[in-house]
Amino acid sequence: MAAPKTGIRVVIVGAGFGGLTAAIECHRKGHDVSIYENFPELKTLGDIISFGKNAGRIFTRWGKDKEIAKKLRSMCIDLSKYGFRIHKYDTGEVVYHQPPPPRDDDAPVFNGHRGELHEVVFNYAREELGIPIHLGQAVEEYFEDENQAGIVLKSGEKVYADIVIGADGVRSKARELVLGYVDKPKSSGYAVWRAWFSNVDMIKDPRTKEFCENGDTFNGWIGPDVHFLFSTIKGGKDCCWVLTHKDEHDIDESWSFPGKVEDVFKVLEGWDPVCKAIVEKTPSLVDWKLVYRDPLPTWVSKHARILLLGDAAHPFLPTSAQGATQAMEDGVTIAVCLKKAGKANVQDAVRAHQEIRYDRVRAVQKTGESTRDNWHKTDWEKVAKDPKSIAFPREDWIHEFDAEKHAEEVFETVLAKVTGQDNNSTTEASSLLDADKATPTAVAV
């Protein structure tokens, strides 16, 4: 049954997972929503992307009888039998075989091809829900006053709304208006080579065919300031690997380039020969520079009519495996806040959204650094005594979180704080996080 209309006009810039989630959730809550996207057409680009249980919980609420989650499940890696095998970089020894999390159909975990999963969500928003998605519409400018906000398209057309959500990624133009200055990226000191390819050559090689003949697999090799993750998916038909390594190249606003297999070989000198055997079969790869950004002091514009969401507000390190999921949590939260505040109180809703989300996002961001450092500075004597110490962390405070339920529960308390009606500086929302988890940190994309 359709939700009652709220009369709140929402314009979203960007049709990535964060923007699409915000649109779908705003539609579910009865808001009048539309999306403007720079790309002229949908393309199934990219490689592996991960969604934790906290995203799966959102997907299961879309469509009839968990329709969208079921579609995604059929396209994603199934590690129920294989798990995650973590190797020592030089010997190739499996130092820990991490079992997969128990299957939960109400909060599934998804790992699959970014472009293929995106297409499912995009089509659900546009075709099934009828959300207007305007492709090929470059946004030149954002504007706002006390009563409304809007965007100026390249054509000169102005689009007005009660709230504009800037889900326009790491190069966000909305961020410039919110901050009042251009936030330039800096080198983080790391980069990632990424690749996705068919198993055709892998299955011919006795050294690598085991990864493609036994269903889906997931293996990681951990070394000094380097980690190499390799997956096979779709029953072993497709292969995907990512390798994070030190990289001091200075970059500006473009940080994704064609990569060279020869450069990867240099980093893998002295490693388990299986790693090189995998890489040498890669037809092409991307060299993705991880750029450093200071956490933003705010995601909300001066008049609280423009809100940053997802990577525009808080880019994540890949080792968090939570970037897209946290963008989805953002989309869920702002939709709830707008619904509960109502059209006359949109600005309060936007401020409450930030209050609800800010500390949690900062805490989850920090896990990307801690996981990377744990792997890149591994104490192998410790691992020998406690193999679980090298496992990829799956913390309940992240994965068992229900963004919609949480926003519903804490909204009134948070609203009282942001409107100055509550003198208690500790809100119900912030009390859910330990102080050390909310420590400010720098992040990368």
Task: Cite the active site residues.
Answer: 194
How many Cα atoms within 13 Å fall on the side-chain side of residue 209? 4
From residue 216, alpha-carbon distances to 79, 82, 112, 366 in Å are 6, 7, 11, 30
- Distance in angstroms (rounded) separating the CA atoms of residues 355 and 426: 11
Record the tokens describing residue 329, joined without a space: 């949590």
Cβ–Cβ < 8 Å for 67, 60: no
- Distance in angstroms (rounded) separating the CA atoms of residues 231 and 152: 43
User: Hunting for tokens 């192998």 — which residue is that?
Assistant: 380
Give the angle 424-367-216 at the CA atoms, nearest 5°. 135
DSSP category for residue 393: P
Residue 318 three-state SS: helix
**Helices in 114-235 by DSSP H: which ranges?**
114-123, 174-179
Question: Exposed, middle or buried, 12 (CB in 10 Å: 0-12/13-18/19+)?
Answer: buried
- Distance in angstroms (rounded) separating the CA atoms of residues 17 and 330: 11
